[in-house]
Amino acid sequence: MTYLFQQVLNALQLGSIYALIALGYTMVYGILTMINFAHGDLFMLGAFFCFLAATFLHLPFIPTLLIAMIGVAIVGVLIERFAYKPLRQAPRVSAIITALGVGIFLENFTLVFAPYPQSVPTLIKNTTWVIGGVSISSLQLIIIALSIVLMILLDFIVRKTMVGMAMRAISWDKAIVPLMGIPLDLVISATFALGTSLGGAAGVMYALAFPVIDPYMGVLIGWKAFIAAVVGGIGNIRGAMIGGFILGGVEILVAAFLPSTYRDFVAFTLLLVLLIFRPYGILGKPRPQKV
């Protein structure tokens, strides 16, 4: 029982990181129907910004987090402007390939400056409480709480503010939005800034939880977060959150009861099974095909 509770806590921690990254995928998809495959690498950049700010500027946790989020958001907006915007009218697949290219660029660019794995200094003094046999670390609680705060904030922005309304309008119909006087480019930039900054925040949290980082850390985690977004129903913000926690839960459970090498196998098999029964994810709805 305590073991189970321990695993639930671990699952929440991993799940919240997946969920934060998945949100970036889903927001960009919702608005541009494009999979931003560079997003996993923006997550990696977040971890590296955290590393830089903590190692060289000796900043405490909150400023580090903010620097990483803002830094990643700037990179994200720049990528959209220079690499994706020229391709809005192009075949969808060229945008996907461009995103893959941008991702590889980010990885290898970082690799030039960080050819070896780097270790991130401790930013939060980690105290562990043992309550009824369950060990709870302050770090774990901070990661879970912070992710939930960020998600609630995002949900609020998307649902209640003008920018959020404009975002939802664009995901509904991109052609009509400029006619309504909504500055399309600005809203798309805002979406990228929001989505990628969440990825950056996830990078920071990951770096705190698993303090050895390398330029390729974003590849597999990025793909997995993408799967989380799909499981929830891509384009759907609440779906991405749910998907992230489901994936985190499944992975931790598998690792708890089976050899850890089975983790990916079970996670991806489950994904396939889910897609057979719910081809559009948990909260996704099929877009009707007009004939």
Which tokens in the block code for residue 63?
């400023």
Measure CA of the first residue to CA of the last residue in the chain; give whole Å.
55
In angstroms, what is the minimal distance from the CB of 160 to another protein? 29
Q: Which of 58, 91, 116, 277 binds another protein (CB under 8 A)?
A: 91
- Give the residue from 110, 141, 89, 88 showing the smallest Cα distance to 41: 110
Of the candidates 226, 223, 202, 203, the one whose C-alpha atom is nearest the C-alpha of residue 213 is 203
Stretch that binds another protein, among 182-190, 203-211, 238-246, 266-274 (CB under 8 A): 266-274
How many Cβ atoms from other residues are within 10 Å of residue 161's Cβ? 12
101 touching another protein, by CB under 8 A: yes
Q: Is 252:11 a contact under the CB 8 Å cutoff?
A: yes
Query: H or E stretch including 140?
Result: helix 138-160
When asked if residue 260 is in the footprint of another protein (CB under 8 A), the reply is no
Q: Which stretch binds another protein (CB under 8 A): 14-22, 84-92, 125-133, 198-206?
A: 84-92
Q: Do residues 95 and 37 touch, judged by C-beta distance below 8 A?
A: no
Q: Judged by CB, which is closer to another protein: 20, or 271?
A: 271
CB of 148 to another protein, least distance (A): 27
Applying CB under 8 A, the span of 8-16, 87-95, 125-133, 173-181 interacting with another protein comes to: 87-95
- Integer-rounded Cα Rg, in Å, for the chain is 19
Nearest to 79 by CA among 98, 94, 60: 98
| Nearer of residues 41 and 164 to another protein, judged by Cβ | 41
Q: Using CB under 8 A, which of 78, 90, 176, 180 touches another protein?
A: 90
Element (H or E) spanning 213, and its range?
A: strand 212-213
Chain positions 117 to 146 lying near another protein, rule: CB under 8 A, are none
Query: What gap in Å lies between CA 244 and CA 251, rounded to an integer?
Result: 11
When the beta carbons of 204 and 227 are compared against another protein, the nearer one is 227
Judged by CB under 8 A, the stretch of 142-150, 156-164, 194-202, 273-281 that binds another protein is: 273-281
Q: Is position 261 an interface residue for another protein (rule: CB under 8 A)?
A: yes
- Does position 269 interact with another protein (CB under 8 A)? The reply is yes
Phi-psi region of 235 (alpha: psi -120 to 50; beta: other; left: phi over 0): left
268 binds another protein (CB under 8 A): yes
Regarding 253 and contact with another protein (CB under 8 A), the answer is no
- Say how far apart CA 45 and CA 43 lie, in whole Å: 5
Residues forming the site for another protein (CB under 8 A): 29, 35, 83, 86-87, 90-91, 93-98, 100-105, 108-109, 111-112, 115, 219-220, 223, 226-227, 230, 234, 259, 261-262, 264-265, 268-269, 271-272, 275-276, 279-280, 289, 291
